[in-house]
Every structure is written in C-alpha cells, then in structure tokens.
Amino acid sequence: MTEATRRERLRADTERDIRATARALLVGQGRDSVTLRAIARELGITAPALYRYYDSREALLRAVCEDICADLDAELTPAIRDVPSDDPLGRVFAVCRAFRRWALAHPQEFELVFASPEEESVGLGRTEPGRTEPGRAEPGRAERGRRPAQDRFGSVFIHVIGHVLVAPEAFVPTSEDVPAELHDDLVTYRQRLLESLAEVGVTVPAELLQLDGVYFILKWWVRLYGHIALEVFDRFPFPLRDAEPLFERMLTELAVESGFPNPAANDG
C-alpha cells in the first residue's frame, strides 16, 4: 500500500475529494445539480482540471455510483452482524429494514443507483465512426466496464444474502418449484453467489443453496425493491400516511413463507 508514489497518493486523494464533493452536491440538491463547475468551485480548482481524473461527467457519476454502493454495503453489513447468527430470520429483517431506512434517508442516491435505465456511453461513443469494432479496444477501462452499477450493487446484495446464509440452519425454503425457463439463469446466479462469497472468505456448502432458494431470494428482492422504490418515489396509488406498517407486514409474510410460523419481530 505504502509503495505508492507521493504523486499517486496525491492523485488518489483529490480523486476521492472530487467524488465526495460530487456526492455532497447530489445529496443536497439532486442529480442535476452535481455539475463539473460546481464541484471544481467547491474544491478551489477549475472545471477542466476534473478531466485529468474522469473522462466525462457521466464517468464521474458512475464512480459516485460505485462509492454509494460501497457505502451501502458498509452500512448493511454491520446491520447484520448486530444480530446473532443463530437468528437468520432476524438478520434478514435487519438488513431489509436497514436498506429501507437507507433508501428513505438518501433518496437521491437511491434514485441514481437503482432507478436509471442504462449508463453505457450515452450519445458520445458514436462520434468516431472508425472505431466500430466491439472487441476489447481499451483493456484497462472497458474490461470490467459493462454494467458497473449493476455489478457493484449485485455484490452488495450478494454480501448481504451471504452473511445470512452462513447461519447454522439455512432459512431459505426449498419447497418451491422453479420455472424451467429460469433454470439456467438461476444456476448462473448461484455460481456467482458462491464465488463472490468465497472471495469474502465465506464458504457455503453448495447443497445448502438449492435452486429453490435462489428463486426464493429473487422473488423477494422484487417485493423488497418494489416497496422501497414506491416509498422513495412516493408512487403508491394513493398517498400513504406511513408505509412502515405495510413494510413490516411484508416482512411478516416473508417470515411465514420462509417457514417461520410465529415471527418474533414485530416492529423496528
């Protein structure tokens, strides 16, 4: 780590400062307000200097996305650790509640990460018609550049689920029959789950995570995301005074469907 040059350290510092400033602007005044000139102004430099660090505003926003995901990860993980590992359902509840709380407290960041269609070179890459080859032209950046936000968030979700799965008894039920058309995708996802967990040092026996379980997780991610996004964007079909009871009831249903007949947790 300390092998880095002085220059490299300085560069990394300002790079971090830039993203932090951008994020402060995002949180404070919304996505449209995170402006290259505003960032530069805040840092006491000029806007073109930022191009020494990021290729474009869009690239900067992508980097901010990754920072947000890292922070979300860092916030959800301890929320799990606070619950004893012999209470897997409690851990699931904890991470779901923490995710909701985070989303409500950081709506702008939630929107940027979880509700933007696509991030790949919006209207810029086509200005040079010569480079039509889809092959890996720039190995350094483009290699892992496909769907960075999704990958980054995928890892958050994987971490979270992984920490729950290491409970002494797996909580995911195995009574569902998965749709045949989803089989291949689910197998791929289970592979990624196990690999990603192994990276963090968590080894899960493969037979613990059956395909039914993966399907179960996927289905519940839909409900979790649906509720939180609706609440953040205030898009319930009618103004809901307080959506928390609805959320807690959803968790109760999750508990029931998981095979826990009498959930102990009632409110957060």
Partner DNA sequence: CAACTGTGTGAACACCGTTCACCCCGACCC
Partner DNA sequence: GGGTCGGGGTGAACGGTGTTCACACAGTTG
Closest CA to 155 of 220, 123, 202: 202
Q: Which is nearer to its own copies, 14 or 35 (CB)?
A: 35
The DSSP string of 199-258 is HTT----GGGS-HHHHHHHHHHHHHHHHHHHHHHHT-SSS--S--HHHHHHHHHHHHHHH
Among the residue ranges 11-19, 48-56, 137-145, 234-242, the one whose residues contact its own copies (CB under 8 A):
234-242
* Site membership for DNA, residue 20 (CB under 7 A): no
* Site membership for DNA, residue 28 (CB under 7 A): no
Closest CA to 60 of 70, 75, 47, 50: 50
Among 4, 10, 206, 240, binds its own copies (CB under 8 A): 240
Among 63, 98, 108, 167, binds its own copies (CB under 8 A): 108
Cβ atoms of residues 61 and 23 within 8 Å: no
* Site membership for DNA, residue 48 (CB under 7 A): yes
The entry of its own copies, DNA, none that residue 14 binds, CB within 5 to 8 Å by partner kind: DNA
Structure token pair of residue 81: 């650790």
Give CA–CA dist 261/146, Å, rounded. 42
Q: Which is nearer to DNA, 37 or 146 (CB)?
A: 37
Q: Residue 7 burial by CB count (10 A; 0-12/13-18/19+): exposed, middle or buried? A: exposed
* Site membership for its own copies, residue 116 (CB under 8 A): yes
Residues 45-64 that bind its own copies (CB under 8 A): none
Minimum distance from CB of 133 to DNA (Å)?
A: 19
Give CA–CA dist 85/164, Å, rounded. 8
Residues that bind its own copies (CB under 8 A): 29-30, 33, 107-108, 111, 114-118, 122-123, 147, 150, 153-154, 157-158, 179-182, 184-185, 188-189, 192, 217-219, 221-227, 229-230, 232-242, 244-246, 248-250
Residues that bind DNA (CB under 7 A): 5-7, 10-11, 14, 35-38, 40, 44-49, 51-53, 56-58, 124
